[in-house]
Structure 1
Amino acid sequence: MYFPFISEIATTAVSTVPETATLSQAIELMLKSEHRHIVVTGNKRFYVLDIYDILRINREHTDTNLRLDTLHLTRLPTIRKEMNILETLDYLQNDVELIAVVNKDETLYGVIAHSDILSSIDPDTLMDNYRLSDLLKRKKRNRWVDKEVITYDIFHTMEKYTHDAAIVVENGKALGIITTKDILKLLKEKKDLSLPVKTYMVTPVMTILQTCTLNEALRLMQDQHFKRIVTVDDEGYLIGFITQKELISIAYSRWTKMMHGYYKELEQKNAKLEQKSKKYEKIAATDALTGLYNRMKFMDLFLLEYSIMVQRHNALSLLVLDLDYFKKINDSYGHNTGDEVLKQISNLLLRELRNVDILCRWGGEEFVALLPSTDAGFAYEVAEKIRLSIENLVFSGLPAVTASIGVTQIDERDELHDAIERADKALYMAKVAGRNCVEKVMIETP
């Protein structure tokens, strides 16, 4: 296993402008170079002006004669060019897509983007038995738009959520796509943004089945230079995205697990990796916001508990919990408030559950809990207790938060997908019943 140096994969063809330049000069360079971002250089400091800044400026009609050093631009993290690719792992948890690569004298050598890191990954580090369907994140529907939506409105949404693409959907299927690169082209050509997005979308959209392996997804991204993959089910209906960043995180977590098998080749790196291995294992296993287990780790722990259940003939139950009307909190009070609610709910769940129970943030405002040695009846009681605790939890300045919970008991015939699907059905029943309640669905007897 070879881990390249930063200098080997960094992009050195970078559009730069000094911080003493004006905003209009920077925008002109950005449009001319057709880059989605340019680097603003200062005194051993580097900032980024990206397409989202351009969208904001285009919306606010900011004075373009302002100097760049008077604007609040995002400062780029820096890394020395002689360092190893493993040093970029810490930056994968940040929202910033770029890392500035510097020489020994702190001058700019180039930049590293997620795409550069992705190109250095050996697809064979990803196991073939992990499928996209196991990792796809839910709650990305604000990236799906109808073909009749006004183009400018899509720009505003992409700026607000810093999305790099929007999928144009018709009858649940991907009709086209519009990306930040397309935005740059439309702004450069001064196109009429009051027209519907179908006028400017790129079509057709290349998609991949959710049953494909991570290995296949990574190869497709590398071959086609994609920043994200649009995934569909067997009938072609849109399921979601998997991004470069998500695949990079998975691949690098796989790399860290393979270190000891390549000891001789990695001997010079071994001391550094030993110091950081626990940190990276935690990053690979936990959700960055709540500190709970993430979906990948939950899958591993489910297999372990399922095996114990079968061997000892114990009961095993599953809860799926979804916060009611959570989008209203984000929309009305902001995402920082929404994040704080998720943290407090996570802490409450940890208090209510036993040490042996396994709690995971499944995605967005949805949580999954696995309860060993617990039948469906007792799991229902646990879920009801959790529901009441959430309802009685006081959030300063917010109305009461409630949750709907689906409960099921694991059967020896189950795979994780089956159990989740059954608990999701129970959750849906709870939503239909008026929310803030618990429903239970059991496996059908043959």
Structure 2
Amino acid sequence: MYFPKVSEITTTEVISISRASTLAEAIDMLFRSNHRNVVVTGQDHYYLLSIYEILRLNREQQKKNILLETLELPKMPTIYKEKSIIDTLAYLHNDFEQIVVLNDDNSLYGIITQSDILSSIDPDTLMDNYRLSDLLHIKKRNRWIDKEETTLDIFNTMERYKHDATMIVEAGKPIGIITTKDILRLLKSHVDLSLPIKTYMVSPVETISQYCTLNEALSFMQDKSFKRIVTVDDEGILTGSITQKELISIAYTRWVRMMQTYQKELRDTNEKLEQKSRKFEKIAATDSLTGLYNRMKFLELFVSEYTVMVQRENALSLLVIDLDHFKQVNDTYGHNIGDEMLKQISNLLLRELRNVDILCRWGGEEFVALLPAADCDTAYRIAEKLCRVIEAFSLEGMPCITASIGVSQIRESDDLNEVIERADKALYAAKMSGRNCVKKATL
């Protein structure tokens, strides 16, 4: 099961304003953007100025030129964008429908909503086994009102009880609805709030059967871009309404507990798989005796370094290193001593080569080294140094040994086989010259 990062489902198109701004500036920003909320940024915290707060401040006849920093605005919960969506589950039961998403430096990245979470989690089995009617009896009843009640009274009630929608009913059937988005529209238009709510209600109301499954309800909400669903019985009588937040809090409770229980197990399993993957990758790329890169990995690295050489117009050279008379070591001292000597020489070469150089065991007692940013003369000097170091190497119980080295600079038209062939010819010339020496290939 894939769990996205918070950043992948964050809405980054949010409006924000500094706490040093005035209430009038914030309200104007809400009206111009047609948003229902604005994020207020403080020095250490983020706050929410919602339509409910505007209604409250309007009821209290708060002056519009007051600074936001003087108002008691609710603090918003925060989460870093690199967190998993699983980490948002702890916020599902708070009073906020939005969570502030932060960059690593604590700056505002965006907002994640209950809708974002709902759209990103889809446990079909759970969703297909619950129906809306199973949930209606355990949630609080919303206030259903008569169409003749005044608009101002409705607004004040919605602000006091934090209702984001109010249903208008007649003979038990829903005939209209007022949401916080409608409130914002009406406030912006400066309408007469003393008129009855029937003047401004949105009608007709789209409803869904209370016997639908949660999955069907979820599809309905997503298709309609609704933040709530209004449920009716077979006679069309209003039975309730459920918001996205309530749907999450109720329907996903069991699933959330399951995910929290198995979260550590999943992480442990992933870590073990990653460890095995790294282990197998190392086995596939290295020589089992010396721990150096093998031919397959060297070919991959050669292609990468060749590309860099061409792009940056750098030099690139290759060494073929062969230990002299190594067969005599095996014949005289045995293969165990020979293997130990190969490991010791491999470590010696790694120490003496540069950090950027790439060393491979090519086969038997032969090694190949790739030298980035080294022309033929530089590679020759490095090879000479390796010859002298190998010649001076001694370890108790092991014979002294020398090496012959062929050097070849790589051209843009080369492939690895051509480079190796030239370096092999240079190596052969070194052998013919008495061994324990370095020869350059002829370009």
Which bin holds the TM-score, normalised by the shorter protein?
0.5 to 0.7
SS in 2 for 1:175: strand
Structure 1 position 131 matched with structure 2 position 125 = no
Which residue of structure 2 aligns with residue 150 of structure 1? 150
Which residue of structure 2 aligns with residue 355 of structure 1? none
Structure 1 position 253 matched with structure 2 position 235 = no
Amino acid at match of 1:29: M
Runs of 4+ in structure 1 off by over 6 angstroms are 258-266, 268-271
Work out the CA distance in 2 between the residues paired with 1:270 and 1:229. Answer: 42
Report how far residue 15 of structure 1 moved: 0.6
Moved more, 15-24 or 259-268: 259-268
Structure 1 position 208 matched with structure 2 position 197 = no
Which residue of structure 2 aligns with residue 161 of structure 1? 161
Q: Which runs of 5+ in 2 are unaligned?
A: 273-443
Query: What is the TM-score of this pair, normalised by structure 1?
Result: 0.57
Report how far residue 268 of structure 1 moved: 6.2
Query: Alpha carbons of 1:191 and 1:125: their partners in 2 closer, same or farther (altered >3 Å)?
Result: farther
Matching of residues 176-325 of structure 1 within 5 Å? 176-249=176-249, 250-251=251-252, 253-254=254-255, 256-257=257-258
1:264-322 Cα shifts (integer Å, max 9, x gaps): 98666799xxxxxxxxxxxxxxxxxxxxxxxxxxxxxxxxxxxxxxxxxxxxxxxxxxx
Q: Percent identity?
A: 60
Which residue of structure 1 aligns with residue 172 of structure 2? 172
Work out the CA distance in 1 between the residues paired with 2:75 and 2:147. Answer: 36
Work out the CA distance in 2 between the residues paired with 1:48 and 1:144. Answer: 28
Asked whether the equivalents of residues 49 and 73 of structure 1 are also in contact (C-alpha less than 8 Å), the reply is yes
Query: Alpha carbons of 1:123 and 1:204: their partners in 2 closer, same or farther (altered >3 Å)?
Result: farther
SS in 2 for 1:38: strand
Work out the CA distance in 1 between the residues paired with 2:4 and 2:193. Answer: 43
Amino acid at match of 2:254: S
SS in 2 for 1:135: helix
Query: Alpha carbons of 1:237 and 1:82: their partners in 2 closer, same or farther (altered >3 Å)?
Result: same
1:339-377 Cα shifts (integer Å, max 9, x gaps): xxxxxxxxxxxxxxxxxxxxxxxxxxxxxxxxxxxxxxx
Work out the CA distance in 2 between the residues paired with 1:219 and 1:167. Answer: 22
Report how far residue 253 of structure 1 moved: 3.1
Query: Alpha carbons of 1:104 and 1:262: their partners in 2 closer, same or farther (altered >3 Å)?
Result: closer
Asked whether the equivalents of residues 121 and 251 of structure 1 are also in contact (C-alpha less than 8 Å), the reply is no
RMSD: 2.4
Work out the CA distance in 1 between the residues paired with 2:259 and 2:86. Answer: 13
Work out the CA distance in 2 between the residues paired with 1:105 and 1:3. Answer: 24
Work out the CA distance in 2 between the residues paired with 1:102 and 1:83. Answer: 10
Work out the CA distance in 2 between the residues paired with 1:161 and 1:262. Answer: 36
Query: Alpha carbons of 1:170 and 1:46: their partners in 2 closer, same or farther (altered >3 Å)?
Result: same
Report how far residue 257 of structure 1 moved: 3.2
SS in 2 for 1:126: helix
Which residue of structure 2 aligns with residue 67 of structure 1? 67
1:83-129 Cα shifts (integer Å, max 9, x gaps): 01111111111112211100010000001111111121226143423
Which residue of structure 2 aligns with residue 79 of structure 1? 79
SS in 1 for 2:252: helix
Amino acid at match of 1:121: I
SS in 1 for 2:11: coil
Report how far residue 243 of structure 1 moved: 1.7
Work out the CA distance in 2 between the residues paired with 1:152 and 1:159. Answer: 11
Aligned length: 271
Work out the CA distance in 1 between the residues paired with 2:204 and 2:158. Answer: 21
Amino acid at match of 1:22: T
Work out the CA distance in 2 between the residues paired with 1:115 and 1:205. Answer: 21
Work out the CA distance in 1 between the residues paired with 2:12 and 2:178. Answer: 27
Matching of residues 6-17 of structure 1 within 5 Å? 6-17=6-17
Report how far residue 200 of structure 1 moved: 0.9
Amino acid at match of 1:69: E
Asked whether the equivalents of residues 137 and 240 of structure 1 are also in contact (C-alpha less than 8 Å), the reply is no
SS in 2 for 1:55: helix
Amino acid at match of 2:83: M
Work out the CA distance in 2 between the residues paired with 1:166 and 1:139. Answer: 16
Query: Alpha carbons of 1:224 and 1:252: their partners in 2 closer, same or farther (altered >3 Å)?
Result: farther
Amino acid at match of 2:4: P
Work out the CA distance in 2 between the residues paired with 1:224 and 1:206. Answer: 10
Work out the CA distance in 2 between the residues paired with 1:268 and 1:225. Answer: 37
Report how far residue 254 of structure 1 moved: 2.3
Matching of residues 17-166 of structure 1 within 5 Å? 17-122=17-122, 124-137=124-137, 140-166=140-166
Amino acid at match of 1:73: L
Query: Alpha carbons of 1:161 and 1:261: their partners in 2 closer, same or farther (altered >3 Å)?
Result: closer
Amino acid at match of 2:150: I
Amino acid at match of 1:26: A
SS in 2 for 1:61: coil
Query: Alpha carbons of 1:247 and 1:197: their partners in 2 closer, same or farther (altered >3 Å)?
Result: same
Q: Which runs of 5+ in 1 are unaligned?
A: 272-446
Work out the CA distance in 2 between the residues paired with 1:42 and 1:263. Answer: 35
Query: Alpha carbons of 1:268 and 1:162: their partners in 2 closer, same or farther (altered >3 Å)?
Result: farther
Query: Alpha carbons of 1:206 and 1:267: their partners in 2 closer, same or farther (altered >3 Å)?
Result: farther
Asked whether the equivalents of residues 125 and 255 of structure 1 are also in contact (C-alpha less than 8 Å), the reply is no
Amino acid at match of 2:221: M
Work out the CA distance in 1 between the residues paired with 2:127 and 2:121. Answer: 13
SS in 2 for 1:3: coil
Q: Which one has the largest radius of gyration?
A: 2
Which residue of structure 2 aligns with residue 405 of structure 1? none
Matching of residues 360-439 of structure 1 within 5 Å? none
Work out the CA distance in 1 between the residues paired with 2:158 and 2:23. Answer: 21
Work out the CA distance in 1 between the residues paired with 2:80 and 2:129. Answer: 36
Report how far residue 138 of structure 1 moved: 6.0
Work out the CA distance in 2 between the residues paired with 1:270 and 1:163. Answer: 45
Work out the CA distance in 1 between the residues paired with 2:43 and 2:109. Answer: 15
Amino acid at match of 2:39: V
Report how far residue 223 of structure 1 moved: 1.7
SS in 1 for 2:185: helix
Asked whether the equivalents of residues 144 and 167 of structure 2 are also in contact (C-alpha less than 8 Å), the reply is yes
Asked whether the equivalents of residues 142 and 240 of structure 2 are also in contact (C-alpha less than 8 Å), the reply is no
Asked whether the equivalents of residues 38 and 50 of structure 1 are also in contact (C-alpha less than 8 Å), the reply is yes
Query: What is the TM-score of this pair, normalised by structure 2?
Result: 0.58
